[in-house]
Structure 1
Amino acid sequence: MNDLGATLRAARVAAGLSLDGMSRLTHFSKSTLGHIETGRRVVQGEHVIAYSRVLGLSIETLCGKPFDPLRMAHEWLVRETPVHEHLRSGRRIGSSLVDTLENRVVELRHLDDLVGGRDLFPVVQREFEEVQMLAKEASFSEVNGRRLLVAVGELAQLAGWVASDAGRYPEAQATYLTGVAAAREADDQVLVGQLFSSLAYQMANVGDPADAVLLAQSAVAGASEAAPAVKTLLRERLAWSYARARDKTSALRTLGLVDEEWERRSRNDDEPEWVYWLNRHEIDVMAGRCLIELGQPSAAKPLLLGAIEAYSPDHVREKALYMTWLAESQANAGELDEARLTLEQARTVSGSVQSSRLELRMRQVERLAN
């Protein structure tokens, strides 16, 4: 562990990043990171994930050996939670517990990059239910109460997303709406927009695209004061809803607005942590997906190829998902041999990740390619 801490420190220094800078980008305190790097604190999987994301290095590069995210998820599930520990000692909660819960939301969110929904669902669901219980039963100051409600809303978004990936669509919808209630009580309209937008994305995929359009439009309108990165994300999902509803004009116009919003970003923006994953490649993937839905597979292929080549090898579910879209673009362009080869490569990349969303995509594209 001392060696791993030293490796993390060397990687950070090589990237020209200070402990202060790393703290701001990971949501771990400077002192925690210092203890990790000097061996005074045991390095956990969530620490390695955070360094990997910020520094743009694979987990295997940092660890020097295979990393098992499923083991990390299991260890998280069997450990006692901060909520249980707190409720043994009293009902009044302070800022330190809220700090811990906020950090756990971030860590779980990044674990979703590596673990499929069926494996991660019980972990996130337990955390969500316990933080909900705390918000109902504990006593706290007005400031900590609002922060706790925001944590409930953010956990609801993550729990809904994971449930959807696990194919548990009714549970996902109910969870998203529970989060909306908490975010509204906290007066966090941007988080309300994120929750409605996430639900609209599910509806566009497995429900009525027309309803998805209305909900996605509401999310964009309600988050009018959000940072450009957030507006980019919400407009992406609106574009997808339009594409699924076969509204070509609105979809293409919204994709143009996505690019405009992304160009408005600056280093001084106050962005919520939950947009950490959004980048130019992710935007290109969504644009490519929309173009496929709109009958323009040849225009989609270069966007998808560039994003897939740049994608982290640790994020196997997303990489495999994006490869299914590439395979669909190839199949729609009449390149059936290439589509079958891409699908086979996607299966190899995905390994044993437990994602109903990925399995559904595989079946859909297989029918096109055969």
Structure 2
Amino acid sequence: MTTGADLRAARDTGGLSLARMAQRTHFTKSYLSMVETGKRPLPADVIAAYEQVLGVPLANAPGDPVRLAHEWLVAESPLAVQTRSGRRVGDSLAATLETRVVELRHLDDVVSSHDLLPAVSKELDEARSLVRSSTYSDRTRKRLYTAVGELAQLAGWVASDTGRFADAQRFYLAGVGAANEARDRALGAQLLSSLSYQIATIGDPRDAALIARTAAMGAHAATPAVRALLLERVAWASAKARDAEATWRALDEVDDAFEERGVDEPEWVYWLNRCEIDVMAGRCMIELGRPGEAEPLPSAAIESYPPEHAREVALYLSWLAESHARAGDLDAARYALARAQSYAVSLPSARVDQRLQVVQQLL
């Protein structure tokens, strides 16, 4: 089995510092350090990123991620076995559930939502059954409900990406209940802000902005990276609502919060980095009629992303294409759109399809 120590050895052999590896991938330096030292689980996409950057295979690395998602769906999980046994649940099973949540979350980077949603839904159902039918200590209770809330957030995000918006909203709201049981205000805020992101796209952006602001205010004690994520959702909903002042204020606060981030961030915020923040700023600029200023932001992000993260690359290219189209450079817009379409084929997504349609209509 590949370990974090294997990754570090391969990186050292390749002559790359941890900071350089972080620059070459979409992961933060602090997160990679925790993976290499065994403080965080080792997901498949981290192994794949190291293989791509270093140009060497890593022994015993996981195989095709779509196959992994289907194996996850058909295999019986430890949670189902525990639920049938009726025994008292301890920290070891809670740790198993936490590891499985992280693995599923990272599969979302490289597996289509259509393939992943059944596996996530199955795991969420089993986790809910576990917390309803088992007994456990107060400490274990918090860990279990936190994992259920994180699974619900992932299920909502994946369902939304398939266009199943009503299902996504149900997942999100159920997750808020689990987060409340765990007394995890940051996770509850993440669930509400995820819902606001969906509403900003398909509903009334003023409602989305209200929910996003509520989430950010309710998690005032959250870690810096979590605050940055919540404020990003405020900025996006505000831009969709055409509230320029609120948008720029939120984006400034995002930058301030992100600069304060440390090593104690929750794992579910692993994907938020400088490139993601720049893309969001560019998207807001486009929404507020400043496409020329937006163009450099997605361009830099696209170059930093590994190609197997095809959904994100396609989304970023769609924003790059829109910035060109709204600035009047139609040839550049068509080129960026064609690139986005080529990536979209490999990782289908309702979100990507909707974005490509928007750009196509501009052309």
Would you say same fold, with TM above 0.5? Answer: yes
**Number of the residue aligned with 1:198:** 194
Is 1:115–1:353's contact at 8 Å kept on the other side of the alignment? Answer: yes
Any idea what the Cα deviations from partners look like across 1:268-320, whole Å, max 9, x if unmatched? xx211011111100000000000000000000001111111111222110001
Alignment match of 1:89 (pick from 68, 85, 95) = 85
Q: 1-side partners of 2:105 and 2:262: how far apart?
A: 24
**Number of the residue aligned with 1:42:** none
Query: Deviation of residue 51 (structure 1)?
Result: 3.2
- The question of 1:254 aligning with 2:250 is answered yes
**Number of the residue aligned with 2:97:** 101
Matches within 5 A, 1:54-93: 55=50, 57=52, 61-62=56-57, 68-93=64-89
Matches within 5 A, 1:177-196: 177-196=173-192
**Number of the residue aligned with 2:325:** 331
Q: 2-side partners of 1:250 and 1:20: how far apart?
A: 36
Query: Deviation of residue 23 (structure 1)?
Result: 5.3
- Sort the Cα spacing of 1:5 and 1:133 in 2 relative to 1 into closer, same or farther, 3 A: closer
**DSSP-derived class of the 1:351 partner:** helix
Any idea what the Cα deviations from partners look like across 1:104-136, whole Å, max 9, x if unmatched? 101111000111212111111111111011111
- The question of 1:162 aligning with 2:161 is answered no
- Sort the Cα spacing of 1:158 and 1:330 in 2 relative to 1 into closer, same or farther, 3 A: same
Alignment match of 2:302 (pick from 284, 305, 308) = 308
CA RMSD of aligned residues (A): 2.5
Query: Deviation of residue 61 (structure 1)?
Result: 4.8
Query: Deviation of residue 186 (structure 1)?
Result: 1.2
Q: 1-side partners of 2:270 and 2:225: how far apart?
A: 9
**Number of the residue aligned with 1:271:** 265
Query: Deviation of residue 91 (structure 1)?
Result: 3.3
- Sort the Cα spacing of 1:16 and 1:126 in 2 relative to 1 into closer, same or farther, 3 A: same
- The question of 1:353 aligning with 2:351 is answered no
Query: Deviation of residue 347 (structure 1)?
Result: 1.4
**Number of the residue aligned with 2:21:** none
Q: 2-side partners of 1:318 and 1:278: how far apart?
A: 12
Is 1:52–1:59's contact at 8 Å kept on the other side of the alignment? Answer: no
Unaligned runs of 5+ in 2: 19-31
**Number of the residue aligned with 1:145:** 141
Residue 11 of structure 1 aligns to which amino acid in structure 2? A
- Sort the Cα spacing of 1:306 and 1:16 in 2 relative to 1 into closer, same or farther, 3 A: closer
Is 1:239–1:254's contact at 8 Å kept on the other side of the alignment? Answer: yes
**Number of the residue aligned with 1:134:** 130
Is 1:164–1:172's contact at 8 Å kept on the other side of the alignment? Answer: yes
**Number of the residue aligned with 1:123:** 119
- Sort the Cα spacing of 1:297 and 1:26 in 2 relative to 1 into closer, same or farther, 3 A: farther
Is 2:34–2:40's contact at 8 Å kept on the other side of the alignment? Answer: no
Aligned positions, number: 347
- The question of 1:288 aligning with 2:301 is answered no
- Sort the Cα spacing of 1:218 and 1:59 in 2 relative to 1 into closer, same or farther, 3 A: farther
Query: Deviation of residue 266 (structure 1)?
Result: 3.5
Q: 2-side partners of 1:6 and 1:224: how far apart?
A: 36
Q: 1-side partners of 2:206 and 2:34: how far apart?
A: 44
- The question of 1:22 aligning with 2:69 is answered no
